[in-house]
Structure 1
Amino acid sequence: ATEATTKYFLIQTTAAAMILFAGTLNAWHSGQWTLSQPMSPVPTTLLTLAVMMKLGLAPTHAWYPEVLQGSTLTTALLISTWQKLAPLSFLYMTMSTLNPKMLLLIGLLSALFGGWAGLNQTQTRKIMAFSSIAHMGWLVTALSLNPNLTTITLLTYLAMTAATFLMLNTTTTKTLLDLSTMGTFTPIMQIMILFTMMSLGGLPPLTGFLPKWLIMKELVMMNMLPLSTALLLSSLPSLFFYVRMAYLTALTMAPTTINTKHKWRLEILSTTLLPTTLALTLLSLPLTPMLYNTT
């Protein structure tokens, strides 16, 4: 935990220092301290790198899986959800100063790296870290296309990631081996994790299909067929390790004896966060027209 804390502290302080340095350079060149107006190339580059580091976007993503692996599941949940809001808000405010083509490239790289690097992982926290990197790639792509679409993508990501981490924390699941033995103790949670993995993979009719569907629609309408094809192909490795986790969860069972104790009832939770996030993760696709028009 100490090593993960140190890594997180160094990365975040370095990124914050780069943002301050970009603001100082911009004030030197233009006489204005605001970062929401067009800037010269050097401050713009520094600002882009800083936001990439804070969000864990490729190719500045190496710290993120290591920090999550060294953290508890609750801390990993906070880093993957709550701690993303401030950098994303900052990115949204400075969107006019950044290069849209560069953001699209960063989004594609993040989706590719997040998918391929997660294939050989056996730790659930690292798998969720690479999943988060891939989803951040889709989110940055949505931000470059349509800010309204970004809101839907972000809300969907937060709901799916929160539901997954809460279930992993409830069942104390840290490896893929733990997933294969989960059905012996918590069969209901086993089914819920199965559907959540499918939603994270973006399979219809679950909620995870919603942002990918809308992003593909925007890309096709803008005649960005090569980028849309590349993004779809980059989602296949991610889908593979989600399906692998679902397979280990629902379709395999570790050897047990007839004397194995079955915990058919989990400890009663005092929070309604897990049921709420599960409902949003699995059942929000019919709300697509309302969400798209209101955001």
Structure 2
Amino acid sequence: MSPYVFIIIAFSLGLGTTLTFASSHWLLAWMGLEINTLAVIPLMARQHHPRAIEATTKYFLAQATAAAMILFASMSNAWMSGQWEISHISHPLASATVTMGLALKIGLAPVHFWLPEVIQGVTLNTGLVLSTWQKLAPFALILQVAHNTHPYLLTTLALFSALIGGWGGLNQTQLRKILAYSSIAHLGWMILVAQMAPQMTLLALMLYITMTSAMFLTLNKVGSTKIATLALAWSKAPALSTLACLTLLSLGGLPPLTGFMPKWLILQELVSQGFPTTAVIIALAALLSLFYYLRITYVMTMTLFPQASHILASWRTPMTKRPTLLLCTTTMAAICLLPLTPSVIALLN
């Protein structure tokens, strides 16, 4: 891709997200979401492969449907209440419609069907953008309308996402699909406390972006898109494979890694607010996700490629590129931030 085209696309992605962040009017927020969608489509379709074109088409149709729902809900709210402000979406029907539109934007269950197929059809770098940057603008809107949304709707979306995100990744062999279902499960944790503790949702979102970025960049560095090919990762980069296993366990929420922090704080908030049953259900759903993280970790550390030998074989391609600064930073942040939990709690309070 030409560097000029890449600069234009990156500028458009930043402009769309910033416009949505800064807007208090529904039309401006909708415009920012559309700029984001149109900017990422050239990145998805640049492979000139039928699977990439199929993923781009599915992404465009899903995002267009979500944008139409958001625009319809905002126009209905303006018609019934005379308000175009994002924080003044007061009618129950408009609030539920815009929440479902934003859920479709980010891939919450039960409107998640496009997300695994789309991420499977694009490159790892583009999948990283879809899993991280493209979540920021819709989440800004979700946090602004959460106080006007029925709590049962948010809880239902959250529990469905956590359960389907864990259940759907169990029988997958494609790493991009597994990371897509991991995204769905983590989004459920974030949405669950969006109404009662929005600052905790932001914390979970930032840590999820950090951990997922580290995982996508690691897979891109070792050149693996299937679980079976991860048996080669140890011979290519032993240190990077070890850190990748720790990052996977952090995504699963195991202590003493960073991913334990948001899950622990969210469960504590749910119990303190009087929702112990919801906390138990979503904690059990996290065990489903932990299973396929452990499965990937087992393949990376305790299995070898068939006919493995101690000599440099033709299939054992050495790594020619060293890990980048972004990969090193995100990996360390995904593993080592748990000791900062008391400071984070003090900031949240």
TM-score range for the pair, normalised by the shorter chain length: over 0.9
Equivalent residue number for residue 121 of structure 1: 172
**Greater relative contact order (Cα < 8 A, sep 6+):** 1
Distance in structure 2 (CA, Å) of the matches to 1:293 and 1:258: 52
Contact 1:22 1:46 in 2 (8 A): yes
Question: What letter is aligned with 1:35?
Answer: I
Distance in structure 1 (CA, Å) of the matches to 2:322 and 2:157: 43
Is residue 43 from structure 1 mapped to residue 126 from structure 2 by the alignment? Answer: no
Which stretch has the larger CA shift, 77-86 or 223-232? 223-232
User: 1:46 Cα shift?
Assistant: 1.2
Give the ranges of 4+ consecutive aligned residues of structure 1 lying more than 4 Å apart after TM superposition.
Answer: 261-266
> Is the partner of 2:322 in helix, strand or coil?
coil
Equivalent residue number for residue 167 of structure 1: 218
Is residue 287 from structure 1 mapped to residue 340 from structure 2 by the alignment? Answer: yes
Equivalent residue number for residue 330 of structure 2: 277
Equivalent residue number for residue 141 of structure 2: 90
Question: What letter is aligned with 2:266?
Answer: I
Which stretch has the larger CA shift, 48-57 or 30-39? 30-39
Structure 2 matches for 1:263-274, cutoff 5 A? Answer: 266-269=320-323, 271-274=324-327
Structure 2 matches for 1:66-215, cutoff 5 A? Answer: 66-215=117-266
User: 1:162 Cα shift?
Assistant: 0.3
Q: Which of the numbers 259, 277, 283 marks the counterpart of 2:311?
A: 259
Question: What letter is aligned with 2:311?
Answer: N
Q: Deviations over 1:207-258 (max 9, x none)?
A: 0000000011111111211101101111111000000000001111113133
Distance in structure 2 (CA, Å) of the matches to 1:266 and 1:188: 15
Question: What letter is aligned with 1:224?
Answer: F
Structure 2 matches for 1:236-251, cutoff 5 A? Answer: 236-251=287-302
Distance in structure 1 (CA, Å) of the matches to 2:318 and 2:57: 40
Contact 1:186 1:266 in 2 (8 A): no
Contact 2:83 2:89 in 1 (8 A): no
Contact 1:80 1:132 in 2 (8 A): yes
Question: What letter is aligned with 1:275?
Answer: C
Contact 1:219 1:228 in 2 (8 A): yes
Q: Deviations over 1:123-170 (max 9, x none)?
A: 000000000000000010121330121121111101000000000011
Distance in structure 1 (CA, Å) of the matches to 2:58 and 2:152: 30
> Is the partner of 1:145 in helix, strand or coil?
coil
User: 1:291 Cα shift?
Assistant: 1.9
Structure 2 gap ranges (5+): 1-51
Q: How many residues are matched?
A: 294
Distance in structure 1 (CA, Å) of the matches to 2:108 and 2:80: 28
Contact 1:198 1:242 in 2 (8 A): yes
User: 1:38 Cα shift?
Assistant: 4.3
User: 1:184 Cα shift?
Assistant: 1.7
Equivalent residue number for residue 73 of structure 2: 22
